[in-house]
Structure 1
Amino acid sequence: MNVMAKAEKKISSAFIYFFGSFGGILFGYDIGVMTGALPFLQADWHLENAASLVGWITSAVMFGAIFGGALAGQLSDKFGRRKMILMSAIVFMVFSVLSGVSPDMGEASAYYLIIVRMLLGLAVGAASALVPAYMSEMAPAKARGRLSGLNQTMIVSGMLLSYVVDFLLKDLPGEWAWRLMLGLAAVPALILFLGVLRLPESPRFLLRKGDEAQARKVLSYIRKNPADIDQELASIKETAKEERQANQKTSWSTLFSGKYRYLVITGVGVAAFQQFQGANAIFYYIPLIVQKATGQAASSNLMWPIVQGVILVIGSLVYMWIADKFNRRTLLMVGGAVMGLSFILPAVINWMMPNMNPMTIVVFLCIYVAFYSFTWAPLTWVLVGEIFPLAIRGRASGLASSFNWIGSWLVGLIFPIMTASMPQEAVFAIFGIICILGVIFVKTCVPETRGHTLEEIEEQGTNRGRVKASNPEN
């Protein structure tokens, strides 16, 4: 026991934050890998004219993630964030390998791959819910935006990694190329599993389960000042005491009670808008977008995903630099406005100048990605991780993640169908309008959370929720 205790004491805060956010690598790799694999898969299985089937293969992971996020959020309240992240890594490894060894059985192959990728999506959705919750509960209030932003840096690094892998494997025979692209996702899943084996459980979860000694030990790894540890423990215990006195039994209906409804609508709304704004249409289909704009084969356009990936990584680093210097609401509104204009302007220019350079739309997509990368992309998960009260955090984070994945699934599914029936500029203009609606939602519904402890956010949000419940006309 003493040997184990000494080993635990060697865990550094850097190790905890790195592997605590490493689940984003899985999330990002699987978002990006199909971008390069799809052109080869289409050619190998003769799916060039099967827009709906291509949409389902691409979006199957997101469909599974809808349920994975909700399930993991609920189970993490019972078993802990750490154990559920470990389980997610195992599921991810298994179904990544099964994706890469898909049998060649004609049209049945496509349905096999869709089912396997749906099951893989359970792990992707779980990671998207668990990592922000874990990171927000480990990070101090003054650095929570920056440290929670590590999740986004991991996500976009995973995307860039998948784009580079796709590019390096593109000269292999078509069948081997896409199989290796999909199967290699098991490697970061194995790294995550080995790293998380050494991670401690969240101190808030431990205290909720009555293990104050272990919660104090975990906080000692990541807080330098003993007075801060005592203050944080006291704050968490006070919140837990109020919950016990209220004798609350958290259920799905609890999320929409007058006390919590406001915060749940806020968190779920931001998560849904992030996807319905259309970012993943770019990330999943950029080679096909360039092909439609220029006429060049999609398989020869695999450098464009790398360009997008580099922009995303740089943007995530910019966010970590500015995260705790600007209000969350300000960044979301500025980012959403520029993103909306980046989608709408190509349609306007094309209407005024029908002979515009077809690459103009790709330039505007790069501007969109740049602003998305340091605003909506990281801040969605920061808000989801910090805005929900402890009593409902697991379930509410899971619900927000599920709505996020519903948007991602629908965008991935319908984008190839939409672009087959209307100009690309018109499709992106629709997404641009949704971006503007997202700005309005932030302006009217989202509270400012920068610099507040999780307990302060809970108190402010639930008080506002009570006011709204007692004055519904307001």
Structure 2
Amino acid sequence: MDHTQSIIDRQPYGRFHRKLFLLSSGGPFLDGFILSIIGVAIAGADEDLGLTTFLEGMVGAAALVGVLVGGVVFGWLTDRVGRQAMYTIHLVVLVVASALSLGVTEAWQLIALRFVAGLAVGADHTIATALLSEWLPSNRRGRTMGALVAMWFVGASTAYFVGYVVASSGGDGAWRWMLASATVPGVLLLLGRLGTPESPRWLLSHNRPEDAREAINTAFGRYPTDAELTQLSESEPPQSARLSELFKGGYLGRTLFAGGFWMCQVAPAFAIWTFYPVILGEYGFEDGNTALLWSVVVSLVTLAGCLPAIRWVDTYGRRPVIIWTFVGVAVSLAMLGLFPGMAAALAITMFVINALSLGGGNILQYIYPTELFPTHIRASAMGVASSISRIGAAAGTYLLPLGLDTIGLGPSMLVGAGIAAVGTAMCVAWAPETKGKPLHESAAVGPRPTAPETVKVP
């Protein structure tokens, strides 16, 4: 029997996979929507709630801190109690937190609700990515997980568009409706996810072969044979989830790589996305609602950068895509930093190159963490990597306006270029090639577990 191609890897990409992708992509969509809509709503909240500069920063950072905490906590919990159990519970929290935004009257209430919404988003990073990757055949895993990341930019673009429409229509408390609008996709996603089968890989890693049989039948319309289930179980021996595994042995380097490259991507990216109106103003563009439209355009260009890279990770490989997209980000930011007085048309060209490169590289954010760690710690690894990245995102978002005030536009862009250069060096040194490998092979470090630990199929 071929021990590299399980029943999951041999299954043609079909209706079940497409549905699971659609439902899983709702998480990145909501992530992009929730983290972007606050940039539009903050002006109205400032006027109604009388926010100080400190409180504005707290409102902006609350969701990022929530994502950081949610990734670690719910990643570990998802590895312990299962993907299916967590696949819908956290969405209830997100829907309630979004709906309660309509009743905000104090700054602390807004900060608390943004933090709770961030917790739910951080949870979904770990839950949906682990579940989807564990159901995908190896020959479609790269492009499908990459497309999952692309939905972040769809959510961000939608948020800017919704914000532009609501802001243009005016009205008292319009910002509350902007924040509460996440309730609609949240409810639809919650209803759609009901009844999704558990990951058979997770079930086998918890010594539940009969439940794995039922899950495979629910997904593919047939029960696996004893030989097929035995083959899959040999790659998923029962093991307990220990968060400490991520920080020792062969997995320590993988944890540092997964979180490190992700942080180097988002630290300059989130700062630029958050303050695009300010930055574009430095290059001679208008602010106000026109800047919101530019933000939509930039999000769509970043999304466009995702599309060819989704194919390239399965044709050229993960390693060349992540290295060369980092180079594109570093070069474009260096040009913006070295020549801050460049013509507006040339500045836009550099921002387009930057956005295309960011989009292409960002699709690896969900691919590498799910491929480099085994089932029993996969969600935990995703959560830790996501949380490390949010440290960079929060730092970049906080420091960019200070940099613009103290060292100026050019040096601030050069700092971003330097971070991208560090990411390039990190990927040249550490990025592995996992294209086409079954999950148990790409995640393997050291010797395989001994035969007695293998699930015995009745």
Query: What TM-score, normalized to structure 2?
Result: 0.87
Instruction: Go from structure 1 to structure 2 and tell me whether the alpha carbon gap of 1:156 and 1:221 turns closer, same or farther (over 3 Å shift).
Output: farther
What is the identity, as a one-letter code, of the residue corresponding to 1:18?
L
> What do residues 325-362 of structure 1 show as CA deviations (whole Å, max 9, x unaligned)?
12111001100011011111112123xxxx43356444
Alignment partner for residue 285 of structure 1, among 275, 282, 290? 275
> How many residues in Structure 1 have an aligned counterpart in Structure 2?
435
1:260 maps to: 251
Q: 2:387 aligns with which of 360, 377, 402?
A: 402
Between the aligned partners of 2:288 and 2:58, the Cα distance in structure 1 is: 19
How many Å apart are 1:224 and its aligned residue? Answer: 9.6
Deviation of 1:69 after TM superposition, in Å, equals 0.4
CA distance in 2, matches of 1:386, 1:348: 38
Distance across 2 between alignment mates of 1:341 and 1:225: 52
Q: Secondary structure at the match of 1:195?
A: helix
Tell me: CA distance 1:426–1:308, structure 2 relative to 1, closer, same or farther (3 Å): same
Task: Tell whether 2:368 aligns with 1:371.
Answer: no
Letter in 2 for 1:370: L
Stretches (4+) displaced over 6 A? 223-227, 229-232
Alpha-carbon distance in structure 2 between the residues aligned to 1:429 and 1:52: 27
Q: Do the aligned residues in 1 keep the contact of 2:157 with 2:299 (CA within 8 Å)?
A: yes
SS in 2 for 1:324: helix
Matching of residue 416 in structure 1 with residue 420 in structure 2: no
What SS does the corresponding residue of 1:170 show, helix, strand or coil?
A: helix
CA distance in 1, matches of 2:277, 2:21: 34
Structure 1 position 226, deviation (Å):
8.8
**Residue type matched to 1:238 in 2?**
E
1:231 Cα shift?
A: 7.6
Asked if 1 retains the 8 angstrom alpha-carbon contact of 2:313 and 2:321, the reply is no
Q: Which runs of 5+ in 2 are unaligned?
A: 1-13, 449-458
Mapped to 2, the partners of 1:235 and 1:338 lie a distance apart of 43
The CA deviation at 1:266 is 2.5
State how far apart, in whole Å, the 1-side matches of 2:226 and 2:428 are.
36
Identify the match of residue 298 of structure 2 among 294, 308, 317. 308
Partner Cα distance (2:83, 2:216) in 1: 16
**Can you list the C-alpha shifts for 1:133-187, whole angstroms capped at 9, x where unaligned?**
1221111111100111231132121111111111211213364332111110111
5 Å-filtered alignment, 1:112-127, equals 112-127=109-124
| Alpha-carbon distance, 1:463 to partner | 6.1
Q: Distance in 2 between matches of 1:27 and 1:64?
A: 11
Asked whether the 8 Å contact 1:32–1:162 carries over to 2, the reply is yes
In the other structure, the counterpart of 2:378 is 393
Q: Which amino acid aligns with 2:99?
A: V
Using the size of structure 1 for normalisation, the TM-score is 0.84
Q: Contact 2:164–2:289 at 8 Å: present in 1 too?
A: no
- Please show how residues 450-465 of structure 1 align to structure 2 within 5 Å: 450-459=435-444, 461-462=445-446
One-letter amino acid matched to 1:121: G
Distance in 2, Cα, partners of 1:263 & 1:15: 30
Residue 334 of structure 2 is aligned to residue 349 of structure 1 = no
2: CA distance between counterparts of 1:233 and 1:442?
A: 37
Aligned to 2:328: 338
1:85 is displaced (CA, Å) by: 2.5
Structure 1 unaligned segments of length 5 or more: list them: 1-9, 104-108, 465-474
Instruction: Write the distance in 2 (CA, Å) between the matches of 1:176 and 1:359.
Output: 37
Aligned residue runs from structure 1 range 73-112, under 5 A:
73-103=75-105, 109-112=106-109
Alignment partner of 1:28 is 2:57:
no
AA of the residue aligned to 2:259 = V
The alignment-based identity, stated in percent, is 27
Partner SS, residue 452 of structure 1: coil
Which residue number corresponds to residue 237 of structure 1? 233
Give the drift of 1:240: 3.5
Specify whether residues 128 and 175 from structure 1 end up closer, same or farther in structure 2 by C-alpha distance, changes over 3 A only: farther
Question: Which residue number in structure 2 is paired with residue 445 of structure 1?
Answer: 430
CA distance in 2, matches of 1:235, 1:196: 29
3-state secondary structure, aligned to 1:302: helix
- 2-side partners of 1:438 and 1:231: how far apart? 44
Q: Is the 8 A contact 2:16 2:220 kept in 1?
A: no
SS in 1 for 2:353: helix
In 2, are the aligned partners of 1:64 and 1:120 still within 8 Å (CA)? Answer: yes
Counterparts of 1:441 and 1:84 in 2: how far apart (Å)? 33
In the alignment, is the contact (CA less than 8 A) between 1:64 and 1:118 conserved in 2? yes
Give the 3 Å change call, closer, same or farther, for CA 263–232 of structure 1 in structure 2: farther
Of 314-323 and 214-223, the range deviating more from structure 2: 214-223
1:273 corresponds in structure 2 to 264
Is this contact kept in 1: 2:309–2:321, CA < 8 A?
A: no
* 1:435-458 deviation per Cα after TM superposition (whole angstroms, max 9, x unaligned): 011011111112111111111112
